[in-house]
Amino acid sequence: MNAVEFKKGIYWVGAIDRTVRDFHGYQTPSGTTYNAYLLVDDKVVLFDTVAKGFSSELLARISDIIEPSKIDYIVTNHIEMDHTGALPEIVDAVNPEKIICSANGKKALLAHFHREDWPYEVVATGQTINTGTKNIRFIETKMIHWPDSMFSYIEEDALLISQDGFGLHWATEERFDDEVDQVKLMQEAAKYYANILLLYSALIQRALQNIKQMELKIDMIAPDHGVIWRSDPCKIVDAWDNWSRQVAIDKAVVVYDTMWQSTALMADAIVEGLNETGIEVRLMPLSQYHRSDVMTELLDCKAVVFGSATLNNGMMPKMADMLTYMKGLRPLGKIGAAFGSYGWGGEAPRLLDTFIADMKYESAGECLRVNYVPTPENLAACVELGRRVGAMVKA
C-alpha cells in the first residue's frame, strides 16, 4: 500500500502490523496500525513515527511523496514505543531541524533514548507553528495515554491528529471509518478504550470538555491506531464521552473459572435467574474468554458477578489475573456479587467479596458458596442470586 493523501498535502504514511497479538496484556487478534502523518507545505512535518521494526515501511511511504531528508520537523505527540520505537532511525535518516513535543515528552524522550543532542522544541497547549500555508496548534492531553501526550490540530484543514486518542487496534487495509464494517469498528474502539484508557476516564472527560470549550471545528480525526474518522468524527467523540462518564446499560457480566464444573453449574443457574429479569447477560468463562474481552464487556455493564472455585487456599489463577487487570483499569460504579464451589477452605468467593468491597461496588449480598457439587437447593439459590442482581440492575 502506498501513502494515502486524505487532505490536500497531508498523507497517511504509517505502518500496518498484522501480527501483533498482545499489547501490554490486551489481546489484539486483528493486529494494529501505527499511523504517522506527513504534511507537505513550505515546511515539511512528520507527525509521529512507528514501532521499532517498521521504520523501512514508514520511510518507503514517505519516499512515495518526498525525499525523507526534506522533512523539517518531527512532531512527537506521544512517546510510547509503538510510536517512537523507530524514532532514532528516522531522526538519523531525516536530520530534522526540530523535534516538537510537550515538556513531559522531552523528559520521556530523554529517558527512552538518552539523546541530549536531538533538536527538541518544547510546546504547550495553545502554541502554534506556521508551516507556510498552515498553522498547527498543540493541545496537551495528559494521560491520553501518557503524561507526555498531546494532540496536533491543523487549523486550515480542521484536522485533529490525536495519537492514541480515538484509536483502535485493527490492521485493516482500509484507512477510513466509512470503508470498514461499522459493527466491528465500534467494537474495536470500545475494546481499545476499555483496555487502554478506562483508568484515565476522569482526565479524559476533562480533556473532552476543554476541547469542547475551544470550539474547534473538526472535519476529521486522525489517530495513531486504526482508521481516520472522516465521515462522522462526532461518532467516536460521543462514544468516548459516554465511555469516560462510564455510562452503563441494563447488563450483567458473569465471569468465572471452574475446576470440576461445579462453579460452572452455579454460573449457569445465576444466568438463568438474570435472564428471568430481562436484562442483557454475558456469560464469560475465563477458559474461553481473554481478560481483555471481559474488560470490553465490563465497560458498559451495571453488574458483574464473579465466580471461582477455591484452589490452594485462594482463587483460580485466571480469576486472579482478571482481578489484577481489572483493578488497574478500574471500572467504576458496578453492582457486584460472588460465588464459587469449594472442598474445604472455601476462600475464593470470600476473596471475591473483598475485591467487590475494595472496588466500592454495591454488593448484592454475601458470597454464595457450595461444598463440592451443587444440590438442586444450591442451584435454586444461584437462580435467586441472579434474580436479585437483575432486580438491582433494573432498579
Burial (CB count <10 Å: 0-12, 13-18, 19+), residue 324: exposed
Q: Which three cell numbers stand for residue 201?
A: 476516564
Q: Which segment (9-17, 78-86, 338-346, 377-385) binds ligand FEO by CB under 6 A?
A: 78-86
- Asked if 134 is part of the footprint of ligand FEO (rule: CB under 6 A), the reply reads no
Size of the site for ligand FEO (CB under 6 A): 9
Minimum CB distance to ligand FEO, residue 92 (Å): 22
Question: Toward ligand FEO, which CB reaches closer, 78 or 291?
Answer: 78
DSSP-derived pairing of the beta strands 335-342 and 310-311: unpaired
Contact 127, 104 (CB under 8 A): no
Minimum CB distance to ligand FEO, residue 247 (Å): 24
Question: Toward ligand FEO, which CB reaches closer, 224 or 257?
Answer: 224
- Per CB under 6 A, contacts with ligand FEO among 203-262 are 224-225
Burial (CB count <10 Å: 0-12, 13-18, 19+), residue 111: exposed
Contact 262, 372 (CB under 8 A): yes
Minimum CB distance to ligand FEO, residue 381 (Å): 45
Taking the C-alpha atoms of residue 307 and residue 227, their distance in angstroms, rounded to an integer, is 37
> What are the CA-CA distances from residue 194 to residues 223, 235, 243, 276 (Å)?
17, 17, 8, 28
Kindly tell me which residue out of 145, 230, 251, 291 binds ligand FEO, with binding defined by CB under 6 A.
145
Minimum CB distance to ligand FEO, residue 145 (Å): 4
Question: Toward ligand FEO, which CB reaches closer, 57 or 224?
Answer: 224
Minimum CB distance to ligand FEO, residue 85 (Å): 10
Contact 176, 227 (CB under 8 A): yes
Minimum CB distance to ligand FEO, residue 171 (Å): 14
Q: What type of residue is 176?
A: F
- Asked if 353 is part of the footprint of ligand FEO (rule: CB under 6 A), the reply reads no
DSSP-derived pairing of the beta strands 314-315 and 128-130: unpaired
Q: What type of residue is 95?
A: N
Q: Which segment (80-88, 90-98, 284-292, 310-318) binds ligand FEO by CB under 6 A?
A: 80-88
Question: Toward ligand FEO, which CB reaches closer, 17 or 300?
Answer: 17
- Asked if 137 is part of the footprint of ligand FEO (rule: CB under 6 A), the reply reads no
DSSP state of 223: -
Supply the residues annotated as catalytic: 24, 78, 80, 82, 145, 164, 192, 225
> What are the CA-CA distances from residue 304 to residues 76, 265, 340, 358, 379 (Å)?
39, 17, 14, 14, 19
Kindly tell me which residue out of 80, 157, 293, 347 binds ligand FEO, with binding defined by CB under 6 A.
80
Minimum CB distance to ligand FEO, residue 80 (Å): 4
DSSP state of 367: P
Kindly tell me which residue out of 7, 43, 61, 78 binds ligand FEO, with binding defined by CB under 6 A.
78
Question: Toward ligand FEO, which CB reaches closer, 224 or 347?
Answer: 224
Beta bridge pairs of residue 369: 340
- Asked if 191 is part of the footprint of ligand FEO (rule: CB under 6 A), the reply reads no
- Per CB under 6 A, contacts with ligand FEO among 286-325 are none
Contact 89, 115 (CB under 8 A): no
Q: Which three cell numbers stand for residue 279?
A: 436484562
Question: Is the link from the previous residue into 145 a cis peptide, with omega within 30 of 0?
Answer: yes
- Asked if 82 is part of the footprint of ligand FEO (rule: CB under 6 A), the reply reads yes
Contact footprint for ligand FEO (CB under 6 A): 78, 80, 82-83, 145-146, 164, 224-225
